[in-house]
């Protein structure tokens, strides 16, 4: 496993990391087995949130990490009523602090390594988060030693051009940001990532395989074709070759679609690429991509030519 610097936190994080959003509730034993396999493989960064699996993600993760204090855990507080792009903002400082305290309890830790405001989706609600006491509450938690580093994550379905992070990063308010970049949503490569480099902000990539459902995403050739079809239906891509051709992705061979997707992200100047795996077999497949230069210039150029103008994520 290779490691990269997480911005000004100074933490050295594995370039592949584990997203613990799903699986804890349905099969806790399998979830723990995968967490232990990740640790054995050298992954030292795990992302979770108080709202994942109704809190089960943190609870089962806390059990899995007993005796593994070296693992860096990132968790989050969502100041909205749900994860929909249209959800109402309901954040309060008291709720944020309570969320952090619950995360500490469920994770069985004395301190949270990284604590994020989760899924900030409009400039107006970013301003509210910064001005209504929520940000000050995060700073207070850091000053009290309950949190080491603070940051925010975006909601790329609502903000595909990353306006929120483009405003937030230069303020110096955040140590870490969580952002979406994949070869079907490349906009962060020219906007957010250079800003993070300039301001020494750590970058945690989510959704490297787009919305990773079986039906649409970068999890298989059929699913990737379906995702392109949906982009065409939304007017994000033209309904003509090469986008309608059966061999659209042939230039990525011999890499599979998910392997090429992860390799694309790892070519970027980011700190860690976070994705969820539900089995040790999938983990082993993902580990095969940790091989610089990850993806050659010709394939990167073709991906940019084909999909670089897309500005919205679709499910």
Whether residue 162 is contained in a domain is answered as yes
Statement: residue 314 has pLDDT above 90: no
Whether residue 183 is contained in a domain is answered as yes
Whether residue 314 is contained in a domain is answered as no
- Concatenate the DSSP letters of all residues of 290-311 into one string: --TT-S-HHHHHHHHHHHTT--
- The pLDDT tens digits of the residues spanning 99-120 come to 999 999 999 999 999 999 999 9
Percent of the chain with pLDDT over 90: 85
Write down the pLDDT at residue 130.
Answer: 97
Spatial distance between the Cα atoms of 86 and 120, rounded to a whole number of angstroms: 11
Statement: residue 213 has pLDDT above 80: no
Statement: residue 199 has pLDDT above 80: yes
Range of 264's domain?
Answer: 3-307
Q: How many domains does the structure of the chain reveal?
A: 1
Write down the pLDDT at residue 6.
Answer: 98
Write down the pLDDT at residue 53.
Answer: 87
Write down the pLDDT at residue 237.
Answer: 97
Spatial distance between the Cα atoms of 227 and 236, rounded to a whole number of angstroms: 11
Statement: residue 255 has pLDDT above 70: yes
- The pLDDT tens digits of the residues spanning 163-186 come to 999 999 999 999 999 999 999 999
Q: What is the mean pLDDT of residues 256-282?
A: 94
More confident residue, 193 or 84: 193
More confident residue, 263 or 280: 263
Q: What is the mean pLDDT of residues 138-143?
A: 98
Number of neighbouring beta carbons within 10 Å of residue 71? 20
Write down the pLDDT at residue 54.
Answer: 87
Statement: residue 315 has pLDDT above 80: no
The DSSP letter of residue 222 is H
Spatial distance between the Cα atoms of 126 and 286, rounded to a whole number of angstroms: 34
Whether residue 277 is contained in a domain is answered as yes
Write down the pLDDT at residue 69.
Answer: 94
Whether residue 248 is contained in a domain is answered as yes
Spatial distance between the Cα atoms of 248 and 237, rounded to a whole number of angstroms: 13
- Would you call 273 helix, strand, or coil by DSSP? strand
Whether residue 313 is contained in a domain is answered as no
Write down the pLDDT at residue 290.
Answer: 83
Q: What CATH number did the domain enclosing 291 receive?
A: 3.20.20.100
Q: Quote the mean pLDDT of the chain.
A: 95
- Would you call 124 helix, strand, or coil by DSSP? helix
More confident residue, 212 or 15: 15
- Concatenate the DSSP letters of all residues of 139-189 into one string: HHHHHTTSEEEEEEEE-TTT-TT-HHHHHHGGGT--SEEEEE-BTTB-GGG
Whether residue 161 is contained in a domain is answered as yes
Query: Tokens 């990269």 — which residue?
Result: 4
Q: What is the mean pLDDT of residues 259-276?
A: 96
Q: What is the mean pLDDT of residues 291-306?
A: 95
Q: What is the mean pLDDT of residues 121-127?
A: 96
Whether residue 115 is contained in a domain is answered as yes
More confident residue, 269 or 289: 269
Q: Do residues 129 and 138 make contact, with C-beta atoms less than 8 angstroms apart?
A: no
Number of neighbouring beta carbons within 10 Å of residue 82? 11
The neighbouring-strand residues paired with 12 are 5
- The pLDDT tens digits of the residues spanning 26-67 come to 999 999 999 999 999 999 999 999 999 889 999 999 999 999
Percent of the chain with pLDDT over 70: 99
Write down the pLDDT at residue 194.
Answer: 97
- The pLDDT tens digits of the residues spanning 66-93 come to 999 999 999 999 999 998 899 999 999 9
Write down the pLDDT at residue 212.
Answer: 59
């Amino acid at each position: 496993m290779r490691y990269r610097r997480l911005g000004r936190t100074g933490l050295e994080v594995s370039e592949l990391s584990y997203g613990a959003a799903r699986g804890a509730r349905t099969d806790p034993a399998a979830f723990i087995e995968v967490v232990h396999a990740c640790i054995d493989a050298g992954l030292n960064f795990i992302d979770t949130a108080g709202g994942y699996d109704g809190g089960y993600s943190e609870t089962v993760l806390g059990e899995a990490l007993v005796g593994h204090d070296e693992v860096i855990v990132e968790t989050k507080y969502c100041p909205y009523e749900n994860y929909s792009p249209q959800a109402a903002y309901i954040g309060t400082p008291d709720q944020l602090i309570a969320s952090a305290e619950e995360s500490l309890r469920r994770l069985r830790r004395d301190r949270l390594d990284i604590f994020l405001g989760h899924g900030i989706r409009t400039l107006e609600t970013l301003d509210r988060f910064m001005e209504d006491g929520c940000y000050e509450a995060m700073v207070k938690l850091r000053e009290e030693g309950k949190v080491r580093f603070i940051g925010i994550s975006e909601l790329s379905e609502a903000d595909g051009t990353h306006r929120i992070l483009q405003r937030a990063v230069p303020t110096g308010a955040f140590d870490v940001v969580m952002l979406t970049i994949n070869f079907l949503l490349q906009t962060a490569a020219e906007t957010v990532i250079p800003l993070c480099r300039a301001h020494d902000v750590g970058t945690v990539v989510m959704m490297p395989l787009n919305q990773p459902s079986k039906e649409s995403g970068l999890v298989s050739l059929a699913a990737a074709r379906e995702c392109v079809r949906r982009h065409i239906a939304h007017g994000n891509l033209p309904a003509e070759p090469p986008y309608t051709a059966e061999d659209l992705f042939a230039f990525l061979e011999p890499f599979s679609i998910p392997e090429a997707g992860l390799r694309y992200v790892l070519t970027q100047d980011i700190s860690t690429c976070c994705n969820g795996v539900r089995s040790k077999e999938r983990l082993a497949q993902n580990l095969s991509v940790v091989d610089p230069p990850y993806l050659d210039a010709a394939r990167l150029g073709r991906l940019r030519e084909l999909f670089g103008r897309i500005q919205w994520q679709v499910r």
